[in-house]
Amino acid sequence: MMNAKALYKKKALRDRRKLRIKSKLLGDALRPRVSVFRSNRYFYAQAIDDTKQSTITHINGRKMGFKNTQEDAKKLGALFAEELKKAGIERAVYDRNGYLYHGVVAAFAESLRENGIAL
């Protein structure tokens, strides 16, 4: 188990990575930023138009009964790709939100690509 100081450092390092990544990414109405969040149990994603500072569409794995696994991330990616296509979006910028591009985060991105969204 981690002590409080180690947890604080871990969160601070993730926040620094998050800011570094976000400073290089910008989403607009034609190519929104797809931002992901993963908790220990669930996975969430949203498409954001940074010029208007608004969310175009989102998906919530918790409400849909999906867990934070690679198989469920692939299913969520397919459903999210359908939502993006309904909104008229074929291209997006992928924001991994400070997480490593590995496991659930990578599986979600690959599923988006397989279902016709250019990242």
Q: What Å distances lie between residue 86 and 57, 58, 90, 91, CA to CA?
A: 10, 12, 10, 13
What are the structural domains, with CATH classification, of the chain? 4-114 (3.30.420.100)
Residue 1's pLDDT is what? 66
What is the average pLDDT across 83-101?
Answer: 94
Please state, rounded to an integer, the average pLDDT across all residues of the chain.
93
Q: pLDDT, tens digit, for every residue of 21-79?
A: 888 888 888 899 999 999 999 999 999 999 999 999 999 999 999 999 999 999 999 99
Task: For the chain, give the percent of residues with pLDDT over 70.
Answer: 99
